[in-house]
Structure 1
Amino acid sequence: MDEPVTYESRERIAQITINRPHRMNAIDDHVEVALAEAWRRFNASDDRVAILTGAGDTAFSAGRDRDATGTPEYRKFAPGVDIVVEKPVIAAVAGWCVGGALTLVQMCDLCVAAENAKFVYPEVKVGFAGGLVGSLAVRIPHKIAMELMLLGEPIGAQRAYDVGFVNRLVPVGQQVAEARALALKMVNHAPLVLRMLKHFANETMPKGPVELASQALRETDRLFASEDYREGQESFMQKRTPHFTGK
């Protein structure tokens, strides 16, 4: 079976591809796990920029796979929500970008779109929304964000470019090449400065409820995984004074 998400590293650029073209790159449980692992791999690597894309030119992703089981939790695999990604991430979008897939692009730093790209958030029509898309209202003009969320109708690549959701508009099939050209411009920039500027921009930007909740969960998860937490539990059970190390 093909990998649901591929990771290719070249010239210190990571290309992370949702690899289910036969399903319009729809996101199932396997894709969720693989995307989360890809961001962890990127964080631990020498790669300096990541490109997030979908296989083929028909769809970046059709969103949640209709056959998937369980509740989708995009916060767990969207870059920069549960998994902090300090290095630049560029989305390369062609074709349909639907539902939760829109939030993946929303969380990227830059976006290159092919002329056939269509962005739509139809959750109001299907009766479910995870809420991460709420942060879209601080990334593009408020009324456009509300149009996407409340009407559930698509906007094309040109309009997405006009309202500032897309940085570059290119012919179909050129989206990854253009994203790579942008990435190559950043590869030789000072990594610490890139990280600092991304961090400052993220701290300046207001966060929606899902992002804030994820931030709190991330901190408590880190605590519960610590040696000090285990020491606290063991010392309580053994009725002794704990010895905390800050680890």
Structure 2
Amino acid sequence: MPAERPAGQSAGESAGQPAPRPVRYEVSGSVAYVTMNRPEYRNAQNSAMTYALDSAFYRAADDADVKAVVLAGAGEHFSAGHDIGTPERDAHLPFERRAGLWWDHCDRRGAESRFARESEVYLGMCRRWRELPKPVIASVQGACVAGGLMLAWVCDLIVASEDAFFADPVVRMGIPGVEYFAHPWVMPPRIAKEFLFTGERMSARRAYEVGMVNRVVPRDELAAATRDLADRVGEMPRLGLALTKRAVNQAEDLQGLHAGMDSVFGLHHLAHAHNAETAADPLGGMDVRAMKEAGTR
């Protein structure tokens, strides 16, 4: 494999950066490997990671030799979700907006701030990544919780290790699921309701049974199994892959995926506003510890 370079790092930058970049990028054959790189925080997604992911996906899209992309997480877990409390949480910082035309959230208050930021970094980014005209395969181990689900669900295929688990415990915040509300499309509606109503973990095997996951393999075989699948996809014609992905995505949108997300995004922000008025904060007083405990059920 070629030497890897963090997404967004130029060839002239030193490889010995004191703070590692939040996303690693490398190419092997016809496959680009995009790896979330905050393992000490279970790959919790701060804005820096989100925009680094965006840069990595753009890079893969622009590379004519890349036919498929693998999205993975460094360390023991794929992603524990949105960053709601690490020392590097950067929700208050401005970033160059890419996913929409909403204003900078930093100099606004209340719903003007929250709706603008989440339209950009959560719903907007995920929708755009779903449209990457190359197949994306998620390689999931350990926790895939809340915001982690959004990253897995924008991918076209999911390979999970036997120890992987999936959960969306944000109903405990009084919020009807994460911002990229794909639940009733990636699993049957009654399963989606149970998944949300209880906030309990869904095992990789159960996720496979309900059609959310393509393959389940032992943990020590995850990287090889994902690489094998990506290499097989990468043997297909680039345009054929792009058009086929577009065809299936269009079918999902005709089944209401795009409009459904818009409607639930409004409910999501109604819940934030309710929490801001009646609870300790827009998250209903659920901090990192409380959410971690909820996700272990």
Q: What is the TM-score when the length of structure 1 is the normalising length?
A: 0.79
Cα distance in structure 2, aligned partners of 1:121 and 1:130: 7
Number of matched pairs:
210
After TM superposition, give the deviation of residue 100 of structure 1 in Å: 1.2
The one of 20, 33, 41 equivalent to 2:51 is: 33
Structure 2, unaligned runs of 5 or more: 1-18, 93-113, 264-297
Deviates more, 1:17-26 or 1:128-137: 128-137
1:219-230, aligned counterparts within 5 Å? Answer: none
Seen in structure 2, the aligned counterparts of structure 1 residues 54 and 210 have a Cα distance that, compared at 3 Å, is farther
Partner in structure 2 of residue 5 of structure 1: 23
Partner in structure 2 of residue 243 of structure 1: none
Partner in structure 2 of residue 75 of structure 1: 123
Does structure 2 retain, via aligned residues, the 8 Å contact 1:74–1:130? no
After TM superposition, give the deviation of residue 99 of structure 1 in Å: 0.3
Deviates more, 1:69-78 or 1:90-99: 69-78
Cα distance in structure 2, aligned partners of 1:130 and 1:144: 14
Partner in structure 2 of residue 154 of structure 1: 201
2:220 corresponds to 1:173 = yes
Does structure 1 retain, via aligned residues, the 8 Å contact 2:160–2:216? yes
Does structure 2 retain, via aligned residues, the 8 Å contact 1:49–1:186? yes
The one of 83, 102, 107 equivalent to 1:65 is: 83
Partner in structure 1 of residue 245 of structure 2: 198
After TM superposition, give the deviation of residue 29 of structure 1 in Å: 1.4
After TM superposition, give the deviation of residue 59 of structure 1 in Å: 1.0
Partner in structure 1 of residue 72 of structure 2: 53
What secondary structure sits across from 1:59 in the alignment? coil
In percent, how many aligned pairs have the same letter? Answer: 35
Cα distance in structure 2, aligned partners of 1:15 and 1:129: 32
After TM superposition, give the deviation of residue 130 of structure 1 in Å: 6.8
2:23 corresponds to 1:23 = no
Cα distance in structure 2, aligned partners of 1:40 and 1:95: 27
Does structure 2 retain, via aligned residues, the 8 Å contact 1:35–1:77? no
Q: What is the TM-score when the length of structure 2 is the normalising length?
A: 0.66
Seen in structure 2, the aligned counterparts of structure 1 residues 160 and 34 have a Cα distance that, compared at 3 Å, is same
Partner in structure 1 of residue 141 of structure 2: 94
Cα distance in structure 2, aligned partners of 1:8 and 1:77: 21
Partner in structure 1 of residue 259 of structure 2: 209
1:115-126, aligned counterparts within 5 Å? Answer: 115-126=162-173
